[in-house]
């Protein structure tokens, strides 16, 4: 089994590259952001709750997110592995993921951090927001808050995964194909 965590700031290209990894390695792609957005679209109770945080660019509370993630993993059987996109985003989510995976005899194979500067990410998000209509991508205040949330809550994950020898940093600046090739090279080294 291959289980990949993709993390990086909003706009780093996690979703785009996850699609490539999903096809290349026949994995199930779980994006917590997409799961929340689907819940919002379906007007579920979880969606309503998540919306109140997402609209401000805040993270949704850990326990809600962890429960949703576990539920999604448990829906999939007999698969080659997962790409976790946008999860974990806090140390407490990372610890919960580790113990959950251990309880079902699974573990993380690799954690890939997509790195790019804020100014580049800001441009990408604004452009993405114009195409997709995502409100959290169209407002600079919300984008800044998401970066702030990332710096405070998600950045410590780099140290966490580095300390257990699972962190790989990929330069997230360049064309989609260039970044995909960097990911492919990394995956070839790991396998």
The catalytic residues are: 14, 89, 128, 134, 146
> Between residues 146 and 180, which has the closer beta carbon with respect to ligand AMP?
146
d(CA 55, CA 66): 20
- Residue (of 114, 148, 107, 97) closest to 16 by Cα position: 114
Which residue of the chain is nearest ligand AMP when measured via CB?
A: 33
> Between residues 78 and 142, which has the closer beta carbon with respect to ligand AMP?
142
> Between residues 13 and 88, which has the closer beta carbon with respect to ligand AMP?
88
**What residues make contact with ligand AMP under the rule CB under 6 A?**
10, 32-33, 36, 53-54, 57-60, 65, 86-89, 93, 136, 146
- For strand 110-115 and strand 167-171, is the pairing parallel, antiparallel, or unpaired? parallel
Q: CB of 37: closest distance to ligand AMP in angstroms?
A: 7
- Residue (of 27, 29, 67, 25) closest to 46 by Cα position: 67
Q: CB of 75: closest distance to ligand AMP in angstroms?
A: 18
**What is the SS3 assignment for 98?**
helix
């Amino acid at each position: 089994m291959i289980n990949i965590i993709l993390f990086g700031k909003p706009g780093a290209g996690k979703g785009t590259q996850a699609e490539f990894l999903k096809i290349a390695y026949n994995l199930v792609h779980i994006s917590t952001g997409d799961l929340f957005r689907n819940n919002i679209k379906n007007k579920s109770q979880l969606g309503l709750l998540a919306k109140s945080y997402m609209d401000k660019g805040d993270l949704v509370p850990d326990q809600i997110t962890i429960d949703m993630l576990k539920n999604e993993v448990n829906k999939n059987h007999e698969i080659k592995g997962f790409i976790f996109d946008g999860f974990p985003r806090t140390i407490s989510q990372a610890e919960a993921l580790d113990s959950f995976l251990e309880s079902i005899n699974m573990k993380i194979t690799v954690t890939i951090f997509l790195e790019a500067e804020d100014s580049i990410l800001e441009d990408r998000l604004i452009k993405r927001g114009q195409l997709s209509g995502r409100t959290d991508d169209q407002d600079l205040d919300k984008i800044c808050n998401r970066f702030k949330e990332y710096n405070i809550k998600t950045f410590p994950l780099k140290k966490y995964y580095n300390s257990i020898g699972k962190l790989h940093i990929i330069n997230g600046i360049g064309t989609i194909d260039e970044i995909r090739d960097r990911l492919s090279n990394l995956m070839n080294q790991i396998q």
